[in-house]
Amino acid sequence: MEGINILTIKVPLKDANKVKTILIREENLDGNYKTLKERLFVYFPIKTSFKTKYVITNKELETLEHLPHSLKDALKTILTKDEMEKVKTAYDCIGDIAILEIDRELRKKEKVIANTLLRVRRDIKTVVRKEGSHEGTFRVQKMKYLAGENKKETIHKENNIRLMLDIEKVYFSPRLSLERMRIAELVNNSKSRKSKNKKSVNKEDILVMFSGCAPYCCVIAKNAKNKVNSIIGIEINPEGHKYGLENIKLNKLDNVCNINLINGDVKKEIPKLAKTNATFDRILMPLPKHAEDFLPEALAVSKKGTIIHFYDFLHEEKFNEAVEKIKKACEKAKKNCKILEIVKCGQHSPRTFRICVDFRVE
């Protein structure tokens, strides 16, 4: 970087800390430029000359770049007041890819916004924009490349694991990181299992429906490895299944417990498991829309004591609707259940949340 001729004070290295303290106290240290250190001396940039025993001289110094603390702060000097009222400065990060939401009226500024984010967040390598919502059976979402490296594949880190995925080919929510760890911490938890049988201390057999690129499978296997006997994940999206297999290898989980990922439709694969009399200690249903349609399958491979984690999107005044869906399905399957907890897993829209209802088959 080319330097600028700046007024400085030349100080011997042994006096550097003392002089810097005085300059800061007197508000005479120019924070717009970098300090220059040579073999025996330090050159501090100063705002004004003053009487001193040290040498005041001009020196070429590099400009000190002041990065804004947030995207919102950075955009204040770029966008108009009206544009600032419309811009959404919250964004998701999957690995080193940032995913923005930009309203149509601000699309002409989308490249500027994206490049500004790259300047604010040096750890981000790629910026994309959401195009539409999650669509189809695979729940995937189209993304438009805006700035940085032109890529869609990344490695996301959370909860002591790494997940490789293509953000356009696989459904994945980084916002569920805490929820995934919550489930891992519940594995073989005596309070949740609440069994008088000594077998409750045995390792769990776990079924993850709609397993995607295996985030739940990996987080549970990694963080509850001494409490898990087996994990089966079922994913209909072949791309999600492919990345799931890759992530098992990436995290070296092959030998931690018995993990089996199945590429198929839950409606078809679970009846196959039921025919083998397979049952599970814990069943996860991380499909927040229409998950009730799959409760019969979950209950078909449950047993007394099975914990099921049922997800839904509901207004905060209607959480009980999820409970009613569960009770209705259990009644139809001729099974009793006990609701253990209703947990908010993230906000979907004002006063509407993604929730998880933890219930036990009695």
State whether 186 and 311 are in the same domain: yes
Instruction: Tell whether 280 is covered by a domain.
Output: yes
Q: What integer best gives the mean pLDDT of the chain?
A: 93
CATH number of the domain within which 304 lies: 3.40.50.150
Q: What is the pLDDT of residue 2?
A: 59
CATH code of 110's domain: 3.30.300.110
Domain finish residue from 33, 61, 89? 61
**Which of 116-120, 255-259, 296-300 ranks highest by mean pLDDT?**
296-300
Report the residue count for the chain: 362
Cα torsion angle, 112, 117, 123, 129, sign: negative
SS3 347: strand
175 and 322, same domain (yes or no): yes
Number of neighbouring beta carbons within 10 Å of residue 91: 19
How far is 188 from 194, CA to CA, in rounded Å?
10
Amino acid identity of residue 115, one-letter, is N
pTM comes to 0.81
Residue 65: which pLDDT band, with cuts at 50, 70 and 90? confident
- Position 200 scores a pLDDT of 47
Residues spanned by the domain of 54: 4-61
The pLDDT assigned to 201 comes to 59
Residues 184, 82, single domain; the answer is no
Answer yes or no: is 161 within a domain.
Answer: no
Rounded CA gap, 33 and 40, in Å? 20
- Assigned domain for 158 exists: no
Report d(CA 8, CA 58) in Å as an integer. 6
Q: Are 257 and 228 in contact (CB under 8 A)?
A: yes
175 and 278 in a single domain? The answer is yes
Pick the last residue of a domain from 85, 120, 151: 151
Quote the strand ranges of 214-332, DSSP E: 228-235, 258-263, 282-285, 307-315
pLDDT above 50 (res 3): yes
Residue 198: the pLDDT is 45
* Strands lying side by side in the sheet with 126-135: 92-94, 97-100, 126-135, 140-148
162 occurs within a structural domain: no
- pLDDT, one tens digit per residue, over 186-232 is 998 855 555 445 444 589 999 999 999 999 999 999 999 899 999 99
User: Which residue, 40, 61, 82, sits at the end of a domain?
Assistant: 61
DSSP state string for 178-246: HHHHHHHHHTT-HHHH--SSGGGGSPEEEEEES-TTSHHHHHHHHHSGGGEEEEEEEES-HHHHHHHHH
Does the pLDDT of residue 238 top 60, yes or no? Answer: yes
Nearest Cα residue to 272 out of 262, 286, 285, 258: 262
- Section 39-68 average pLDDT: 91
Q: Which CA distances in Å does 249 have to 68, 169, 214?
A: 39, 20, 11
- The domain that contains 17 carries what CATH number? 3.30.70.2580
Structural domain count of the chain: 3
pLDDT at residue number 250? 98
**By C-alpha distance, which of 148, 142, 145, 154 is closest to 95?**
154
Question: How many C-beta neighbours within 10 Å does residue 340 have?
Answer: 17
- Same domain for 177 and 301? yes
Which of the four pLDDT bands, split at 50, 70 and 90, describes residue 289? confident
Q: Do 278 and 184 share a domain, yes or no?
A: yes
Identify whether residues 295 and 327 lie together within a single domain. Answer: yes
d(CA 138, CA 136): 5
| pLDDT over 90 percentage in the chain | 83
